Chains A and B, each alone.
Chain A
């Protein structure tokens, strides 16, 4: 079946540094990818829609300058958390729709900012 690969699975960084998370569709092309954030015991919250070859679309309340999204190819989208703060510690998950709305998710990235 279709696979979406997300790296790294866990990362610990110091406050003020930047962290890049990669999301790859391994056996299909994805012109659109979605980035979600999940807090403990909470649902997934859509952060932004990544569009290949154009600017990402951010949901209300998500800081564009803090969460930089780049969708440089049909199989790769990256989320960079800039000037990380402990409040940014969370579980970040990407997804890519293969056909229509059949979305497959990456394994998720546990970010801890210390």
Chain B
């Protein structure tokens, strides 16, 4: 069983829709959870990070962590074509390297 599971998609939604991206994990040592956005042929860009269960909101983005279920989500409200990218979840137990999900390819249709 892989440590981090993420549906690779592609996920295609119309502009303005609410997008839900999810990851599950098996390693209970993970304490820090990040979401990255990666455009084609570019390095990942940090969107949000959190280290506790619950919700964290930043503009149109909301990160949700449920440590008891080992499940994290990223919600995007009022999705825009510019949100089209690959979204990677990442996790860490501390100051070590990150463990990434495969990434979900998101397409926002104008």
Contacts and interface: CB of A to CB of B under 8 A. Distances in A.
B46 A6 contact: no
Contact of A101 (B8, B43, B88, B92): B92
A101 B42 contact: no
Contacts of A44: 44, 88, 98, 100
A108 to B, nearest CB: 4
The SS class assigned to the A binding surface is strand
Contacts, number: 58
Contacts of A43: 6, 88, 100-103
Contacts of B41: 91, 108, 110
A19 interface: no
Interface of A: 4, 6, 32, 34, 36, 41-44, 46, 49, 59, 91, 93, 95, 97, 100-108, 110
